[in-house]
Amino acid sequence: MSLAELVFGDADRFEFIRYMIVHRLRSFPEKYFSDMTNFEDYCNNMAAYSKPASMKELQVAADIFFAVIECYSINDPIEPANIIWPLRLSSKLIDQPNYLRLWTHGTHCIALRNTNSPQPLIQNIFEEKDAL
């Protein structure tokens, strides 16, 4: 839900985010899994809405949204506990990276929004076309 809030500006779109993550996992298993024995079970469990995302899913999200994901702990809100870079880097990302910042408490994430930019990271161009 936190990723949906950051990316789309709407936490209710979390099912779509989860679908995107599971789809990428299934499309590129060699990038995210060294042990393929439980791969299908892992993807099926991740597709269920009650399973919280792990660092693996956050890596997938960084790759999908081409953004750096910073995870801050409730114990230290100043320095990120984890910084996840997309597996592919470009000079644009290095010079002007997009950041998705999450505050984590156990397996629960809270979205940290940039108050200077209330716009979501991704705009849905299909809704804009339909409005015309």
- Work out the end-to-end distance of the chain between its first and last CA atoms, rounded to an integer number of angstroms: 29
Please state, rounded to an integer, the average pLDDT across all residues of the chain.
76
| Residue bearing the bigger pLDDT, 129 or 57 | 57
Work out the average pLDDT over 122-130.
Answer: 46
Closest CA relative to residue 20, chosen from 34, 53, 9, 130: 53
What is the residue range of 113's domain? 2-131
Count the domains in the chain.
1
Exposed e or buried b per residue across 91-106, where buried means at least 16 C-beta atoms within 10 angstroms of its C-beta: eeeeeeebebbbbbee
| Residue bearing the bigger pLDDT, 103 or 96 | 103
Report the C-alpha gap between 113 and 127 in whole angstroms: 23
- The set of residues, in sequence order, having a beta carbon less than 8 Å from that of 110 and lying 6+ positions away, is 2, 102, 103, 104
pLDDT band per the 50, 70, 90 thresholds, residue 24: very high
Task: Supply the pTM of this predicted model.
Answer: 0.74
| Residue bearing the bigger pLDDT, 48 or 21 | 21
pLDDT band per the 50, 70, 90 thresholds, residue 4: confident
CATH code of the domain in which 10 resides: 3.90.70.80
Closest CA relative to residue 77, chosen from 98, 99, 105: 105
pLDDT of 113 higher than 60: no
